[in-house]
Chain A
Amino acid sequence: GQQVMQIPQYQHVQEGEDFTTYCNSSTTLSNIQWYKQRPGGHPVFLIQLVKSGEVKKQKRLTFQFGEAKKNSSLHITATQTTDVGTYFCAGYNQGGKLIFGQGTELSVKP
């Protein structure tokens, strides 16, 4: 069945460094979403990308959707301790099922 894979699984950075997580799907996605889950919390929606090649920015966060709509990335510029958490990508298949990647856990050392 459809799989969504993320790398890396863990990323440890010094505060102020940049961070990128990558997401790849085994099939073409109708759209892709990104969620953030803080330790002990629940996933919280960040953004949705729909168009091939789309790029969206939220302050220090930049999201990209690949031309083939099979991959995506999230880049954080100048990380802060508030960025700590696990970032998940998730893609809808044609049947309306949302498939999550395994997430990238970000830790930020002050």
Chain B
Amino acid sequence: GAGVSQSPRYKVTKRGQDVALRCDPISGHVSLYWYRQALGQGPEFLTYFNYEAQQDKSGLPNDRFSAERPEGSISTLTIQRTEQRDSAMYRCASSQAQVGEQYFGPGTRLTVT
């Protein structure tokens, strides 16, 4: 079926606003990962879920960042009170099993002005 989709693809927001980034994984995939990728760097782990359970959120930079996957499918990464340093490409990936090949979405480019 379709691959991993993310929306919006681009988001420009003013400092202090909240943003919600959405990830729609491949149907049936158990695990869902959120990453942040700076230009010229590898994806930086943020958090991941198995089904609806958040397994590890150690990569979330601070308490302004949160993520949920309430029904074990679509996930939302929320950033509250955005700051300029939050500007980055945010990527989502899903995998059929916990330790396996990850399929990445196209990413959301977030710009905080």
A: residues with CB less than 8 A from B are 30-31, 33, 42-45, 48, 88, 90, 92, 95-103, 105
Q: Is the CB of A45 within 8 A of B103?
A: yes
Within the complex, what minimum Cβ distance (angstroms) separates A105 from chain B?
Answer: 8
Chain A residues positioned under 8 Å from B102 (CB to CB): 33, 43, 45, 98
A99 partner residues in chain B, CB cutoff 8 A: 45
Q: Is the CB of B99 within 8 A of A42?
A: no
B104 touches A43 (CB 8 A): yes
**A-binding residues in B (CB < 8 A):** 31, 33, 35, 40-45, 48, 50, 55-56, 58-59, 91, 93, 98-107
Let me know if A42 and B48 touch, CB within 8 A.
no
Give Cα distance in the complex from A102 to B98, angstroms. 23
Chain B residues whose C-beta falls within 8 Å of the C-beta of A92 in the assembled complex: 99
Per the bound structure, the CA–CA distance linking A42 and B109 in Å amounts to: 12
For B42, the closest partner residue in chain A by CB is A100
CB distance from B85 to the nearest CB of A (A): 19
* A45 near B101: Cβ-Cβ < 8 Å: yes
